[in-house]
Chains A and B, each alone.
Chain A
């Protein structure tokens, strides 16, 4: 019990000060029947550091980590190289073991970092303001839908077919309880498709629409111009919510804000945060300045101290749960502070120059891979335009192919059959992500293995 500094002598002295005969006296308010006499049965006792390391390492070895295999998985989580100094800096105890900055005079480090994060996110997304992070992209997406409901006082959201199916699934879960109306569709795998179901979206917007939610690049990797959609939304008094699950793309393509989006949310994992089997990640959330009081989550702002020196505080807390209780803009309490810091440090190391080059590398690698993989007999490339992720249509179901590739030590992509179970039209879809971590040899390995699979 190496984390507990009290000695038995300390405990006795403290009980004497309290005026209690034993520790049990401090639990007198627990009903007798609910008081446990000793350690709960069936669970092991404490273990040494060495023993715990051995156990955890054994479990870790049962997983095939991305670094051990040619790796091409994306669909909302991306593997990029993170400079060593990012993890070093976020592991500094003053960041790692600090709390929400409730006492700003001794939390300026966290507050300034969050303010810088907000500025970076706002600029990357092309929006006026951003918050200090959310849990992840999927929950940020639902928060954006509820924010659009508050802003427009309407409750019908139209979800694009290219929105991540898990994000759609989450929104459907919540809408069942809140009464929001959702209009969703599934993507079209026709090779050369224009990118998204833009025509459906344009036609569906009406006077009851709170928002249109569109992901760019979308679940198939397509990139699209959102300008016309934004104009139509604004014409009908609706908001355009754009979702970005791969923010590195914004080093190469125009931001959703520039294309007219009112709220831009995203998954920040791909910058600075590892894959982590799905979490912790970092939700990004930005919007137009006029909507800031309807924006959920924490905000760091600039102010001055008693000497007139610049300093930072958490602000606009009158929207938050601890003050407004049932009238709060959301119930969120924790944000993703440490992951936001990792995102911000990585983006600071990249800078404009580095991010653009990283994006170019990703795109060039993906273009080369798409061309190579499309040469595999029977395989068609679905996308016209894409960034670092694209969709192949295989002549057979993609799921067993992915399984079989994994048996050969290749993590070859995400099958749409896994993401859209029961949708026969999508069963042949394989989404392949190519980041700077995939080498040309990795691509060749995948191409040959795919060829063998399809011929088999």
Chain B
């Protein structure tokens, strides 16, 4: 255990010294650079592109010509490169170090994925191009679909959802369609309180009433409470498995059986599929629909908040309702697109279209590249290492931080702690900000809601033991200070580009766009 206590203690006097260091003329400090907004540069006549002189023609804009400046500043190429490079340096990223956000799954992003997604044959094709000119793209969708269906043990997959929450919507629309087709007007979706916030929001967004199901003391769905609530008005349940407490829902099969018995369907939030890929097939647990966050499980870059991609695997019962468009393999080995036109004969039960085109092709290419690199054997190793890393973190910290479900069995891919045992007035937030000064991105804070002051740590499988030991050491150091009531921790972070930011003030009087006193006239 001693190695975990070797974390360097951030000396408060050092932190204070850094923030009190004399100001510089530029506001920059060595490699820490301040960067103003593009709107503050007064570069409204400048441009960073070299476009030819347009030929003189009589315009046909119907008298709608713009007659006022837009107010778009322009930067030349060197200025733009510098502006965005400087901004980039104010970000923490997985390329810089461990990013242990629970439930977000920040793992290494292989650059091969990027290279493949940028092949012109994938990146430079139009969604409405004649189908026989895009057979390779349809083959990518078909091949990825095959992997997803096989890894999950399901019947079919809807590829078009644009993100995880969009996938939830897809799954619920399929459930609703199945009930409609059966002439049943069930109106309630049951959502355990440990579920992601998107789950109840999604159920409400497609017209369902939402009822919560409590969790047991060991952090799992209360099977008795759930089965007691089942009835002819319940359309289905939405369960996250592994759940947001980082635990596997042992009773999943019994839950599914009970829900099916009562005439409902089981939606599984697959955000945490990376914990079991290659080891467990959700289809074997009775799941009817589950979205897969390609960006999490199959590592496509999160890019500061998306794009995501959320294909939904479906059971045999729900497959007929999958959305349009659909890729279908033909007898000659080619592929066709099932769209509105042919849906009537090929896919008559479809609930329709849920996005303009075919989904996140760029993400499909990346995910397939990643999947082929790992293979079936590698993906199994992925989940094993992700779970091993999380349990290692759990058992290396549970003597210092309260682990509310530490006795509930092994955790899956994420370790959950609470703020119990911290000194009076010290919170999870202080630990998170202290970790920033240690050079780490903090864990997920205050989620899941079932645990007070939750800290959810997801190391992922792409961290080495050495990286984990360093992180554990740093967290032990910060947690120790929070338990001891070290006041300097309340001022953290001291070394970040900004000290603690006032989020309350931002919400009270929102400033969401830059406003100039007067916009300069644009150059014609």
Contact = CB atoms under 8 A, between A and B. Distances in A.
Contact of A299 (B129, B197, B503, B512): B512
Which 8 interchain pairs have the tightest Cβ spacing? A351-B74, A338-B303, A278-B357, A385-B62, A60-B121, A62-B136, A93-B95, A278-B127
A267 to B, nearest CB: 8
B201 A128 contact: no
Contacts of B280: 27, 30, 34-36
Of B88, B306, B384, most A-chain CB atoms within 10 Å: B306
A170 interface: yes
Interface string A432-443: 000010000000
Interface string A87-99: 1111111111111
Contact of A10 (B377, B396, B465, B507): B465
Interface string B293-334: 001000101111111110000000000000110000000000
A52 B410 contact: no
A53 to B, nearest CB: 7
A279 B140 CA distance: 14
A97 B95 CA distance: 6
Contact of A105 (B56, B62, B493): B493
Contacts of B247: 29
Contacts of B130: 402-403, 406, 411
Interface in A170-226: 170, 172-174, 176-179, 195, 223-225
B201 A334 contact: no
B373 A2 contact: yes
Interface in A24-76: 25-31, 33-36, 38-40, 42-47, 49, 51-53, 55-68, 71, 73, 75-76
Contacts of B92: 94, 98, 103, 106-107
Nearest to A418: B128
Interface string A1-33: 111111000110111011110010111111101
B281 A34 contact: yes
Given A98-B303, A326-B210, A92 B70 contact: no
Sorting the interface of chain B by its residue count into under 10, 10 to 19, 20 to 34 or 35 or more gives 35 or more
A137 B305 CA distance: 17
Interface stretch (A113-121, A231-239, A448-456): A113-121
A353 B69 CA distance: 10
Contacts of A166: 353, 355-357
Contact of A225 (B63, B205, B396): B63
Interface string B92-116: 1111100101001011111010111
9 contacts: A26-B410, A43-B375, A43-B376, A87-B118, A99-B104, A102-B445, A139-B354, A282-B307, A387-B61
Given A6-B465, A254-B65, 15 more contacts: A3-B461, A23-B384, A27-B280, A34-B285, A39-B278, A43-B151, A46-B374, A47-B372, A96-B95, A108-B498, A170-B354, A330-B201, A361-B51, A386-B60, A414-B128
Contact of A411 (B129, B306, B359): B129
A419 to B, nearest CB: 8
Contacts of B279: 27, 30, 35-36
A136 B177 CA distance: 24
Interface string B72-87: 1111010011011101
B345 interface: no
Contacts of B356: 76, 136-138, 164, 166-167, 170, 267, 278
Given A62-B121, A325-B197, A349-B49, A105 B377 contact: no
A260 B44 CA distance: 25
B210 A254 contact: no
Contacts of B99: 99
B207 A341 contact: no
B398 to A, nearest CB: 11
A393 interface: no
Contact of A18 (B151, B295, B392): B392
A445 interface: no
Interface string A276-306: 1111101000000000100000111111111
A105 B250 contact: no
B462 interface: yes
B441 interface: yes
Contacts of A1: 374, 377-378, 381
A6 B372 contact: no
Interface in B468-524: 491, 493, 496-503, 505-507, 510-514, 522-524
B253 interface: yes
A67 to B, nearest CB: 5
A76 B127 CA distance: 9
A396 interface: no
A258 interface: yes
A151 interface: no
A339 B282 CA distance: 32
Contacts of A356: 66, 522, 524
Contacts of B126: 66, 71, 73, 77, 79, 275, 277, 411
Contacts of A422: 341
